[in-house]
Amino acid sequence: MERTIDFSLAHKKLFGILHLPENDQPIHTFVLMIVGGAQTRIGSHRMYVQLARFLCRNGLPVMRFDYEGLGDSEGDFVGFEYAGPSIRAAVDTLYLSFSSLQRVVIWALCDGATAAILYAPSDSERICSLVVANPFLESETAKAQTILKNYYIRRLMQADFWRKVLTFQFSIKESASSLSTTLRTSAVNAEEEDWLHTGKSLSQWVLEGVNSFAKSMHVLISTDDIQGMLFYNLIRKDPACRKSIKAGRIKIWLIKGGDHTFTDPQIKDKACKKSLAAIVESAPGNGEQGDLCQMRIAAKTSLITG
């Protein structure tokens, strides 16, 4: 069953959609989806609608909504940097609307994922887990480093590259210029990037968010997405994150061949199934609701191991 919902944030009306499973089970866990970029609660190529319906068919209630200034919600666009109050208002609304609710899992993509990471530590009593896909990092330095690592080095290993070199189809001048720009950008100190005049870069704030949120976090990374790979490299280089990955608090799921929004239908299907597995794993001991999910997952998909 799908229902519309609206709620207030400082006299502004925000709009969302509730996906409620067709059963009489009390709701203990809700999935809250946060949109990214300039997207609405629909998502690129209806990705948010399809994921929400998939999760709901598997027993999980979901809410998608437009944060302040996006989609149908009132106000001027504020950006992910200021999405926190909208997320808090959405969580408040869920707790007010469902008396049996015990926990919320946030699923988010792109800068919606970044907003979720920045928000979650301030509400860790209610947010039990984050499932973040290809989080956004506003760092030209890190982006250049990722391009160096994931494009230029990989390109050297490809037969097609050497075929072009040997048949004189390779433009040395053009490629050298592009490589030189990337190298120069990658050499800039990331700490010089001052995010919102806070004296720290967005990457530093994100790492703080990841490390101070003590609950479980699942990270979906598309291997063909520069933003996703940037985030992947960031957390794998950070000692505290590495420790959390080793301890199993942070789990990384690489989605081979996926782009930023999982455009390919088979990749989208894979991302949906991994999301379901991650959410169910994040909210164990969920009473009848959890048992129902586990049974359905066992029937429809195998649990992913990484």
Residue closer to another protein (CB basis): 70 or 220 = 70
Contact with another protein (CB under 8 A): which of 49, 148, 240, 252? 49
Contact 265, 50 (CB under 8 A): no
Which has the closest alpha carbon to 128: 302, 298, 282?
Answer: 282
Site string for another protein, 204-233 (x = CB under 8 A): --------------------x---------
Chain positions 72 to 111 lying near another protein, rule: CB under 8 A, are: 72, 74, 76-77
CB of 164 to another protein, least distance (A): 13
What tokens were used for 103? Answer: 């926990």
Q: Give the DSSP per-residue string, 59-80.
A: T--EEEE--TTSTTSSS----G
154 lies in the site for another protein, by CB under 8 A? no
Stretch that binds another protein, among 67-75, 108-116, 141-149, 207-215 (CB under 8 A): 67-75
Contact with another protein (CB under 8 A): which of 9, 31, 32, 47? 47
Stretch that binds another protein, among 66-74, 112-120, 133-141, 197-205 (CB under 8 A): 66-74
Chain positions 244 to 283 lying near another protein, rule: CB under 8 A, are: 259, 261, 263-265, 268
What tokens were used for 29? Answer: 């866990």
- What is the pairing mode between strands 127-133 and 29-34? unpaired
- CA atoms of 128 and 74, how far apart (whole Å): 29
User: What are the residues whose beta carbons fall under 8 Å from the beta carbon of 21, sequence distance 6 or more?
Assistant: 1, 56, 57, 59, 60, 61
Contact with another protein (CB under 8 A): which of 10, 46, 153, 214? 46
CA 102 to chain centroid:
22
Helix or strand holding residue 292 (H, E) = helix 287-300
CB of 295 to another protein, least distance (A): 26
Residue closer to another protein (CB basis): 25 or 40 = 40
Q: How far apart are the first and last CA of the chain?
A: 32
Contact 108, 133 (CB under 8 A): yes
Place of tokens 């149908």: 72
- What is the pairing mode between strands 2-9 and 12-19? antiparallel
CB of 302 to another protein, least distance (A): 25
CB of 15 to another protein, least distance (A): 5
144 lies in the site for another protein, by CB under 8 A? no
Contact with another protein (CB under 8 A): which of 8, 23, 45, 300? 45
Chain positions 3 to 32 lying near another protein, rule: CB under 8 A, are: 3-4, 6, 12-13, 15, 17
170 lies in the site for another protein, by CB under 8 A? no
CB of 19 to another protein, least distance (A): 10
Q: What are the helix (H) ranges across 135-286?
A: 140-147, 153-156, 159-166, 172-186, 202-212, 226-237, 239-247, 265-282
CB of 32 to another protein, least distance (A): 16
- CA atoms of 27 and 103, how far apart (whole Å): 10
CB of 16 to another protein, least distance (A): 9
Stretch that binds another protein, among 46-54, 106-114, 202-210, 291-299 (CB under 8 A): 46-54
Binding site for another protein (CB under 8 A): 2-4, 6, 12-13, 15, 17, 37-42, 44-47, 49, 70-72, 74, 76-77, 224, 259, 261, 263-265, 268
